[in-house]
Homo-oligomer: A and B are copies of this chain.
Amino acid sequence: MLDLEDGVFMDQVEELVEGKRWAQLRDMLLLLEPADIALILDKLPEDRLPLLYRLLPKETAAEVFVEMDPDVQELLIKTFSDTELKEVLDELYVDDTVDLIEEMPASVVKRILKHTDPETRKSVNEILKYPEDSAGSIMTTEFVDLKRDMTVEDAFKRIRRTGIDKETINICYVTDPSRHLLGLVSIRTLLLAEEDEAIEDIMETNVIFATTLEDKEDVAQQLSKYDFLAMPVVDKESRLVGIVTIDDAIDVMEEEATEDFEIMAAITPTDKPYLRTGVWETVKSRIPWLMLLMLSATFTGIVINSFEDSLARCSVLIGFIPMLMGTGGNSGNQSSVAVIRGLSLNEISFSDLLEVVWKESRVAVVCGVLLACGNFVKLLVVDRGLMQNTEVTPLVALVICLTLVCTVFCAKVVGCMLPLLAEKIGLDPAVMAAPFISTIVDVLSLVIYFAFATALLGL
């Protein structure tokens, strides 16, 4: 396996470039997969890039081009002659052309569209019409379509004639003259059938499809659920307009997972890899949430201030505030993350609200009691015993432990409900993870703490 990270390979490339040993360099690159060649080209200094790129044979060049970083693609396009640009564009699949156009600045887009052949340009414009998160926006229009009255032999002829330009030939779609989807046949079915059988006799008619405006995440989840290699996409008039292939579905799933991770860590999602994001861009994606969460901590401040005099009288209580807030936050976060993940894997839906709350309540009681017991022992043995802190009386320990039980309970119930409610009102449930939950739980735990302290210690 090629390990680009160790740098040895890059050193070799550098050496061959220095020595102008182009033939050898080309042979070395051609041993690699396009995705790996792209990684190498991405790392080259700007002035060497066009040179090395031109060493690649036309078809490989296009495959490599698709895998490169947008910045590098832009750089390359600027050095391309019109003929070179046209050559690359002719080799691209429609959906890759769309991706390219979406990433490039306006001037480059204009040049790309000018050198795209009219039919592709039509498809590209078609796809660009669909909203960003829709199935339509990630589909390709290049699929094999068959007619119901074809024989298996006809089908193979058609695949041989047109298949080279299609993104996949593993699944072929059967349409009627007005392009309505009638069924599908896999290449396996075709191969195992007799040559004179009619397509309509062997096709699967009970086809799961997506509509152009469906959420691309749902479509990706379904491809995964049904183990499909591709999913047909139909428009409002039920006409087959494209397919979403499994490789694009995987990209969507990875992007969505990354987005969830980022949102749950209070980061505004970006689709750039970590090391390619500049300092300002990173700050912009992080500062709004930090600022918001910081300012919302005003509430914890208010609660503490209103209790300042009592705290001054029984100052031992202050030392346990971080522990109570931390444990509450962690408890709530556990529940919210479990529910958020369940939601995004379609294992849970809003209708499960009661079942989820009932389960979390029981979990919360058990966790709360166990934590309280653990802490009670620790308070009396470590704080009062070992550290000789006489202020930690059994009554103070009781206040702390009762607070723990109630805080953990509230935290877990709030933590499991908020993501479900967010989903219901159309927000991303991932927003309801640690940072947000903790802010609420912080206030809750303080209020509970001071209530018990007032009642039991008579402050």
Contact A347 B262 (CB under 8 A): no
Residues in B neighbouring A147, C-beta threshold 8 A: none
**How many protomers of this protein does the assembly include?**
2
Q: Judge whether A385 is part of the interface by a CB distance below 8 angstroms.
A: no
Residues in B neighbouring A397, C-beta threshold 8 A: none
Q: Judge whether A52 is part of the interface by a CB distance below 8 angstroms.
A: no
A30–B205 Cα distance when bound, in Å, is 12
The listed residue (B251, B275, B321) touching A321 by CB distance below 8 A is B321
The listed residue (B192, B262, B291) touching A337 by CB distance below 8 A is B262
How many Å from the CB of A224 to the closest CB on chain B?
A: 5
Q: Judge whether A459 is part of the interface by a CB distance below 8 angstroms.
A: no
Contact B297 A308 (CB under 8 A): no
Residues in B neighbouring A7, C-beta threshold 8 A: 351
A259-279: which have CB < 8 Å to B?
260-262, 264-267, 273-275, 279
Residues in B neighbouring A282, C-beta threshold 8 A: 338, 359, 363
Residues in B neighbouring A297, C-beta threshold 8 A: 322-323, 326-327
Give residues in A with beta carbon < 8 Å to B. Answer: 1, 5, 7, 30-33, 35, 156, 159-160, 163-164, 169-170, 187-188, 191-192, 206, 208, 224-227, 229, 246-247, 250-251, 253-254, 257-258, 260-262, 264-267, 273-275, 279-280, 282-283, 286-287, 289-291, 293-295, 297-298, 300-302, 304-305, 308, 311-312, 315-316, 318-323, 325-327, 329-331, 333-334, 336-342, 345, 347-349, 351-352, 355-356, 359, 362-363, 366-367, 370-371, 374-375, 378, 382-383, 389, 408, 433-435, 438-439, 442, 446
Contact B322 A321 (CB under 8 A): yes
Contact B156 A330 (CB under 8 A): no
How many Å from the CB of A2 to the closest CB on chain B?
A: 9
The listed residue (B226, B302, B334) touching A265 by CB distance below 8 A is B334
Contact A226 B337 (CB under 8 A): no
If the complex has contacts A325-B322, A327-B297, A371-B291, are A33 and B226 also in contact, measured as CB distance less than 8 A? Answer: yes
Contact A266 B435 (CB under 8 A): no
A408–B192 Cα distance when bound, in Å, is 64
Residues in B neighbouring A371, C-beta threshold 8 A: 287, 290-291, 294
How many Å from the CB of A140 to the closest CB on chain B?
A: 13
Q: Enumerate the 3 nearest inter-chain pairs by beta-carbon distance, A residue then B residue, closest first.
A: A297-B323, A265-B337, A274-B342
Contact A160 B208 (CB under 8 A): no
How many Å from the CB of A108 to the closest CB on chain B?
A: 25
**6 A–B contacts from the bound complex (CB under 8 Å):** A35-B226, A170-B187, A282-B363, A297-B322, A298-B378, A321-B322
How many Å from the CB of A334 to the closest CB on chain B?
A: 5
Contact A160 B192 (CB under 8 A): yes
Closest Cβ neighbor of A266 among chain B residues: B330
How many Å from the CB of A446 to the closest CB on chain B?
A: 8
Known A246-B246, A274-B342; further 4 A-B contacts with Cβ < 8 A: A35-B227, A250-B250, A287-B367, A301-B320
A259–B246 Cα distance when bound, in Å, is 23
A159–B187 Cα distance when bound, in Å, is 11
If the complex has contacts A294-B375, A301-B319, A315-B308, are A339 and B1 also in contact, measured as CB distance less than 8 A? Answer: no
Contact A267 B334 (CB under 8 A): yes
Contact A347 B265 (CB under 8 A): no
Closest Cβ neighbor of A245 among chain B residues: B227
Residues in B neighbouring A352, C-beta threshold 8 A: 275
The listed residue (B227, B318, B374) touching A304 by CB distance below 8 A is B318
If the complex has contacts A287-B367, A297-B322, A300-B322, are A341 and B262 also in contact, measured as CB distance less than 8 A? Answer: yes
The listed residue (B225, B308, B339) touching A319 by CB distance below 8 A is B308
